[in-house]
Structure 1
């Protein structure tokens, strides 16, 4: 479809813009969480091992992680709305291919294609905020994105379970067809047209490929084989060398020397690693140490995403009212308190010793995400919003991948107490990163 030849609606109501961006933010998280619950069924359906079926999840994560920055930069060049619409179309078509896949390798390939579309959606929903919304509503939009991501994470397992039970594993992927169509129609009708973009002639393909290689090697090193860290380091060096010489680099390296941006990206990675602790360690603690059944574990684990979903939009309003720096610090402090309580409360208190403090961690996370993302995106030039949004999402994904490996190792060695003592320490480091003078000056 040629998106440049059709007439654009004259009015872009705030509610329509928020709704369209929110749905586009929901689908990528729903696609990952709903697929997780299908893995045992897929193993049976295809006669595959758990390690083989894991690639249904891993292929999607690798595609989104390796291409997110490139997708953001390409949106800056050819138009954010245009590429967001293309990403939704690709995501939707790939979802249909997943549902029709006759073999596991073809399903994995379709999931990788779905991840490519999701990378554009994840980067450009955030990047569209500056173009589509007044600056005074930036925090509200970031809070909404956090809410929709949490809703997708919480809804995915239960929705996936129901769909598999009623219609089979194919329904987990087919459900994205009507949702993707709705997302496309809403984005087409509600988002403002791109203005002033040229073409992709200046796109830094070599830099994108080297960065993708480095990120893929790192992700696989954390999840599959630690020896790939050497390949990740080599890919990173080649990427930096390419960027230093490129006429139109994927990202300007001097941006990474900006203390405010570097601190925000580092905080995002640290906090994401902590949140992965709740997702990885929680089920093992509740089922192993406390002896709870699968249904009880699932219900208790859904409390965190539900609290985060409810608190996302109010968190964004707080950021709009009180500023990004103070709300970043408050969110981190609340998270640190919750993690410290999990580490210190006696196991004799039962599930409440874990779930109670978790009800502090998740709204703290929602507040941090809204504040940190707002602080970063508020003053970014229009031609750089895509790549900066991609960097934010990349730092989150790298934190999740690293946290899954590091926190699992800590839990295996020292149990729940050690895992969340480390998490508390990571949050203390993040609080320290809010101190640079440049970051303090970034108020809404």
Structure 2
């Protein structure tokens, strides 16, 4: 009876921690997407050109990207719970400063601070989820984080669109303050206390790179680049090549996020049931198939072909995310999980930036122009085909990296060292 009560208590504590970490991840991803829809209003209120108000988004993303590995390291050195509380406090304070900013410069500075806070939330939440989840449910926990992240990204524009008419652009930041405060209270109450740490300092960044983590990081970059490519190229193809109205383009583009939300937790369950390696291979195969289908099907059947390809691609991404994060953190000692989570976040952000810039350049090359607005539909279609043929090839390369195994990468790294 006493053992059953202890087991029930442990489950309750684990659920509380899961709720806290999910809310933290939701806040970080919400902060990424909610400001985009306010850019026109910011340009109007501050009488600033679009290139200047865009800094409100760029400052957040740049600060997040630069900070992820550093905050992970801090978590390993000073305790994951302590750093999660610091991140939530920083995010709440930066949200408040953003809502009260009197000018665009101070708003961008506050958003940069908020991006640092988001780096804590994304990185430390993943490490804590790995620590609090039972061994049999690690994949499920990683899948849940993927679902919550997709939910926050998808919720941002719609929530922002509802708040701006009621409270102006400041409303999108005011709403984040109580949410961060609630998450902070929950974190204090539900997250497990940090373990006492010995005198030995956790391994540094280079030591982490000598592990089997390298293939997971490389593949993470490639996959993130391909997924960002769909967000960059998709609207141009749907609007300019297929001639869809903006509202319809938005509806079609929402298919991917909705599938991500639905497929995140089931993907984690498959990781727990089948193992990370098998699910990772299936996810990459679906990503490769989806990329090649994006190069072929829309030309044959228009919007239906585009949606069909996304239906293949997006679940593949969630399978990959749950499996890759699980595999990357599987053998990492507890005192290094913060750094490992930070490296995963850094590789993902590098991939997102590469997809926006490098794959965008490939699209322009295939279209034969950078003036997409005046380009012929056939030119946009040609750019689309070339871009996703390359994306499919990148996915095949990612599969080769996974199949080669981490041991070969480790030997290569040591030989060069």
Q: Do the two structures share a fold, i.e. TM-score over 0.5?
A: yes
One of 227, 236, 240 as aligned partner of 1:275: 227
Q: Aligned partners of 2:304 and 2:97: how far apart in 1?
A: 43
**Are the aligned partners of 1:87 and 1:121 in contact in 2 as well (CA < 8 Å)?**
yes
**Are the aligned partners of 2:214 and 2:406 in contact in 1 as well (CA < 8 Å)?**
no
Q: Aligned partners of 1:171 and 1:422: how far apart in 2?
A: 41
- Superposed CA offset, 1:185-238 (max 9, x none): 222222111011479x97xxxxxxxxxxxxxxxxxxxxxxxxxxxxxxxxxxxx
Residue matched to 1:155:
155
Residue matched to 1:322:
274
Q: Going by fraction, where is helix more abundant, 1 or 2?
A: 2
SS in 1 for 2:35: helix
Confirm or deny that 1:428 pairs with 2:396.
Answer: yes
Q: How do 1:51-90 and structure 2 match up within 5 A?
A: 51-90=51-90
**Are the aligned partners of 1:71 and 1:120 in contact in 2 as well (CA < 8 Å)?**
yes
Per the TM alignment, residue 349 of structure 1 is displaced from its structure 2 partner at its CA by 1.9
Q: Aligned partners of 1:137 and 1:311: how far apart in 2?
A: 16
- Superposed CA offset, 1:61-112 (max 9, x none): 1111111101001011111011101101110110111111110000000000
SS in 1 for 2:403: coil
Residue matched to 2:213:
261
Residue matched to 2:322:
370
**Are the aligned partners of 1:95 and 1:173 in contact in 2 as well (CA < 8 Å)?**
yes
TM-score computed with the length of structure 2 as normaliser: 0.88
TM-score computed with the length of structure 1 as normaliser: 0.83
Distance change (3 Å), C-alpha of 1:376 and 1:249: closer
**Are the aligned partners of 2:203 and 2:336 in contact in 1 as well (CA < 8 Å)?**
no
Per the TM alignment, residue 437 of structure 1 is displaced from its structure 2 partner at its CA by 3.9
**Are the aligned partners of 2:130 and 2:141 in contact in 1 as well (CA < 8 Å)?**
no
Confirm or deny that 1:393 pairs with 2:361.
Answer: no
Q: Aligned partners of 2:300 and 2:271: how far apart in 1?
A: 38
Residue matched to 2:386:
418
Residue matched to 1:383:
335
- Superposed CA offset, 1:355-394 (max 9, x none): 2211111111001000000001111101100000000010
**Are the aligned partners of 2:213 and 2:406 in contact in 1 as well (CA < 8 Å)?**
no
Q: Aligned partners of 2:163 and 2:309: how far apart in 1?
A: 32
Confirm or deny that 1:335 pairs with 2:287.
Answer: yes
Per the TM alignment, residue 13 of structure 1 is displaced from its structure 2 partner at its CA by 2.8
Per the TM alignment, residue 410 of structure 1 is displaced from its structure 2 partner at its CA by 1.4
Residue matched to 2:263:
311
Residue matched to 2:192:
192
- Superposed CA offset, 1:304-345 (max 9, x none): 011011100000000011000010000010111111111012
User: How many residues are aligned here?
Assistant: 383
Q: Aligned partners of 1:255 and 1:111: how far apart in 2?
A: 30
**Are the aligned partners of 1:130 and 1:382 in contact in 2 as well (CA < 8 Å)?**
no
Distance change (3 Å), C-alpha of 1:160 and 1:425: same
Structure 1: any 5+ residue segments left out of the alignment?
1-9, 203-247
Residue matched to 1:225:
none
Structure 2: any 5+ residue segments left out of the alignment?
1-8, 367-382, 409-417
Residue matched to 1:233:
none
Residue matched to 1:45:
45
Residue matched to 2:95:
95
Q: Aligned partners of 2:96 and 2:319: how far apart in 1?
A: 35
Distance change (3 Å), C-alpha of 1:346 and 1:36: closer
Per the TM alignment, residue 290 of structure 1 is displaced from its structure 2 partner at its CA by 1.5
Per the TM alignment, residue 250 of structure 1 is displaced from its structure 2 partner at its CA by 4.1
Dislocated runs of 4+, deviation >6 Å: none
Let me know the Cα RMSD of the aligned residues: 1.8
**Are the aligned partners of 1:78 and 1:198 in contact in 2 as well (CA < 8 Å)?**
no
Per the TM alignment, residue 289 of structure 1 is displaced from its structure 2 partner at its CA by 1.1
Per the TM alignment, residue 354 of structure 1 is displaced from its structure 2 partner at its CA by 1.3
Moved more, 15-24 or 344-353: 344-353
Distance change (3 Å), C-alpha of 1:330 and 1:348: closer
One of 219, 227, 246 as aligned partner of 1:294: 246
Residue matched to 2:5:
none
SS in 2 for 1:315: helix
Per the TM alignment, residue 162 of structure 1 is displaced from its structure 2 partner at its CA by 1.2
Residue matched to 1:19:
19
**Are the aligned partners of 1:135 and 1:378 in contact in 2 as well (CA < 8 Å)?**
no
